């Protein structure tokens, strides 16, 4: 499982399809918005939390079809299916690699980019924490969607349509936590919900994803 994780991380960094592409897309979204909305600092601070979360969500979508697609095309996934490592472990390793190269860089970059949207240090800290807790869910759900569309030609659009509705609860609670912090309210409740969603995804999705892989590889 560790070897699969390391391999996916190395391939993602070398190719730039995960780490570089998602981070650059996230940067472009955040940088262009102030130009589109104008210099109104209060407006930027108001929409900033939701915008940053939406940008992170869309950035995570960019590389989902690569999680299993490349291994499916070159036969590596067939070898992994016949190895002693269970498919649940393959799914978790690949999801963790996707999060490390996509979700984690975005979460760490968000507080810095929050300055462009007039977010103070305290709100930026809550934003970073919410993304650290919520982006694993985006990778887990995205990997699950990738197993469902495995082998489908041009399945990128179908994959996005499948996972976007499942992303909505995480997006709502993530943006709500940051908005609450910006208004001086307690934000622990939304963060607890985000954590619960992530833990539920870790507990349930590996089994459904493994079943989908067995069906597609049979």
DSSP 16-61: -TTHHHHHHHHHHHHHHHHHHH-S-HHHHHHHHHHHHHHHHHHHHH
Residue 48 neighbours by CB under 8 Å, 6+ apart: 114, 117, 118, 119, 178
Residue 28, both tokens: 């472009």
pLDDT value, residue 17: 54
pLDDT value, residue 155: 63
Q: Which of 196, 178, 195, 194 is nearest to 186 (CA)?
A: 178
Domain that residue 106 falls in: 2-217
pLDDT value, residue 118: 79
**pTM of the shown model:** 0.89
Domain count for the chain: 1
- Positions in the chain whose pLDDT score sits under 70: 15-19, 154-155
pLDDT value, residue 37: 75
pLDDT value, residue 137: 95
pLDDT value, residue 194: 95
Angstrom distances, CA of residue 72 to CA of 115, 199, 200: 41, 28, 27
* DSSP-H helix ranges across the chain: 2-15, 19-37, 41-61, 66-74, 76-81, 87-98, 104-114, 121-148, 156-182, 188-217
């Amino acid at each position: 499982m560790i070897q699969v994780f390391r391999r996916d991380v190395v391939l993602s960094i070398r190719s730039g399809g995960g780490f570089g592409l998602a981070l650059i897309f996230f940067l472009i979204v955040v940088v262009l918005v102030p130009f589109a909305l104008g210099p109104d600092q209060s407006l930027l601070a108001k929409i900033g939390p939701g915008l940053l979360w939406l940008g992170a969500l869309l950035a995570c979508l960019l590389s989902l079809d690569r999680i299993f697609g490349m291994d499916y095309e070159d036969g590596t996934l067939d070898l992994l299916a016949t190895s002693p490592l269970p498919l649940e472990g393959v799914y978790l390793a690949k999801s963790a690699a996707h999060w490390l190269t996509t979700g984690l860089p975005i979460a760490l970059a968000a507080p810095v980019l929050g300055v462009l949207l007039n977010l103070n240090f305290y709100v930026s800290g809550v934003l970073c924490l919410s993304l650290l807790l919520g982006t694993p869910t985006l990778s887990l759900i995205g990997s699950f969607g990738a197993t469902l569309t495995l082998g489908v030609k041009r399945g990128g659009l179908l994959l996005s349509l499948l996972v976007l509705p499942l992303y909505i609860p995480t997006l709502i609670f993530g943006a709500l936590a940051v908005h609450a912090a910006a208004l001086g309210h307690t934000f622990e409740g939304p963060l607890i919900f985000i954590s619960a969603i992530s833990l539920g995804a870790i507990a349930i999705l590996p089994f459904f994803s493994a079943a989908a892989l067995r069906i597609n590889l049979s």
